[in-house]
Amino acid sequence: MVTSRVLASLLARAYVAEFSETEVISETLMQISDDGLWDSLFNLIKDNEVHRLMIEEAVELLGFDVKSFREYSVRGLSAKSYEFSDEYINTMLEEILKWEVWCLKYYSRLLNLDFSDISNERGEDVTNKVKKILKNLMTWENKHVTIVKELLQR
């Protein structure tokens, strides 16, 4: 069984992953000139920002202060720089795909946790809302995996 505190801590890892993936995509955007590819990757960044807001909503539902959650999450960030040129776009897309697959699996595992302690702590309504957020995140990530795979086949 998982408590609200444990789930919030696990969500912090997902929050960092969404941020880290956005950094990879941002660096990739600096190296590409193809407008179609640029637009697709920009949309992934936008979606990742939405994902972070969804995670913040779940954390609030679990009874935690979002500002403190952000500070806790950011402590786990490390600045990683990716050096590449236009000819290595597929390498960067493969890196982005790894992040997308990781997020999809991670949200799936979170959703499969035993939420009975959270139901006892916060109530069924909160539990159902958090589960709905996780399901929606999985849907988004599944879509992103498909998008990146399609970009790799261009």
* Rounded Cα distance, 101 and 99, in Å: 6
List pLDDT tens digits, range 82-98.
565 556 888 899 999 99
| pLDDT band, residue 13 (cuts 50/70/90) | very high
Name the domain count of the chain: 1
- The enclosing domain of 31 has a CATH number of 1.20.1260.10
* Rounded Cα distance, 130 and 128, in Å: 5
List pLDDT tens digits, range 30-62.
888 899 999 999 999 999 999 999 999 999 999
Range of the domain at 106: 4-152
* Rounded Cα distance, 21 and 96, in Å: 6
